[in-house]
Structure 1
Amino acid sequence: MKLIRIDHDAQGGSHFSDCTWALEEGSFTPPSPAGYFTTSQMGACCVLMMHHPAGYQDNWHAAPAPVLGTVLRGKVSIQTSDMDTRTLLPGDQFLACDLTGKGHRMSEVDDGPYDLALVVLMSPPELEQDT
């Protein structure tokens, strides 16, 4: 399972990295049969759903805490301060860990609204960086 991570650097800039969830054999709902995999459990303080109307564009902002986002509907473009841009589709995930500096900005794609599910995490989760 892949996701993009947004981080900040010492100069206040932000950038993407392509990551994969670290998975282990599932045991979340015993006595489920073997054969599924899960991440380690993560501490979270809240969950919110966010709707962005057609034409919406963020200002530059840093994440208030590590935030795990999943696109539920529409297409969203995320841009980091190094001007790298990624387009996410429904089901795509991102982890915003750019807690200081210029941050990132988001906008809708194709003149349509988009919806996000956001989980505010207590700390960044364990990920494997893709090479």
Structure 2
Amino acid sequence: MKIICIDQDETGGSRFLDHAWVLEEGSFTPPSPSGYRISPPLDAERILMMHHPAGYVDAWHTAPAVVLGTVLRGTVRIETSNLDTRILQVGDQFLARDLQGKGHRMFEVNEGPYDLALVVLSQAPAADVCFQ
């Protein structure tokens, strides 16, 4: 299960890191079937649903906190300050942890509306525990 991380770099810019969640055998809703796998738990502060109207383009911004986002509707292009881009489809996840510097921006590829589910995390997940 992939996740795209938006990180700040040492020059004040932002960049992408492509990861996959670490999933281990576990049981969240027992009895779990064979092959059921879960990630390490993350502490969250709040959850937001966000709607962007058709034609909306973000200004450059940093994440206000460490945010785990999931695309609910639309095809979303995220761009970092080094002009690298990723295209996210419905169900794709990103972790914005570029809290300083120039930041990133996003928009819907076809200029349509897009929706995101955002989970504000208490802290950034530990890379060695959460990501491969």
Q: Normalised by the shorter chain, which TM-score bucket? A: over 0.9
Listed one character per residue, the Cα deviations across residues 35-81 of structure 1 (whole Å, up to 9, x for unaligned) are 21000111000000000011000111111111000000011110000
Q: Please, which runs of 5 or more residues in structure 1 have no aligned partner?
A: none
Question: For residues 46-85 of structure 1, what are the structure 2 equivalents within 5 Å?
Answer: 46-85=46-85
Q: Please, which runs of 5 or more residues in structure 2 have no aligned partner?
A: none
Determine if the alignment matches structure 1 residue 12 to structure 2 residue 12. yes
SS at match of 1:123: coil
Partner of 1:21: 21
Length, aligned pairs only: 129
CA contact (8 A) 1:72 1:90 kept: yes
Listed one character per residue, the Cα deviations across residues 94-123 of structure 1 (whole Å, up to 9, x for unaligned) are 000101100100111112110000000011
Identity of counterpart residues, as a percentage?
66
Partner of 1:128: 131
Alpha-carbon distance, 1:90 to partner: 0.3
Separation in 2, partners of 1:41, 1:94: 17
Give the ranges of 4+ consecutive aligned residues of structure 1 lying more than 4 Å apart after TM superposition.
none
Partner of 1:106: 106
Separation in 2, partners of 1:17, 1:57: 23
Separation in 2, partners of 1:41, 1:127: 9
Alpha-carbon distance, 1:34 to partner: 3.1
Alpha-carbon distance, 1:30 to partner: 2.4
1:42 partner letter? L
Name the Cα RMSD after superposition: 1.1
